[in-house]
Amino acid sequence: TDDSCISFIHLAIRKRVMDFHVVIRSSDTKLTFEHDLKFLYYLASTCYDLFNDECDRVRLRFNLNSAHIVG
């Protein structure tokens, strides 16, 4: 939900597996992470649609550096 929170997205295709790796700097797990996650699933599925002739499956990896509940 904030462009400063998702700090890194790396996409690689190896051995017909699309590896979609995301680093999230900070996320309020109660209020905003759900929205970030939905966006990342959308982005990964869009990338898969673009490269589906080169891969059979997708592996999603999410690293949350600071997962917290505010308030």
Q: Could you report the per-residue pLDDT of 8-38, keeping only the tens digit for each?
A: 999 999 999 999 999 988 888 888 888 889 9
- Say if residue 3's pLDDT is above 60: no
Q: Summarize the confidence of residues 43-61 as an average pLDDT.
A: 96
Cα-based distances in Å from 64 to 6, 8, 28, 32, 68: 9, 11, 10, 13, 10
CA distance 20 to 12: 7
- Global pTM reads 0.82
By CB atoms closer than 10 A (0-12, 13-18, 19+), residue 22 is buried
The answer to whether the beta carbons of residues 17 and 58 sit under 8 Å apart is: yes
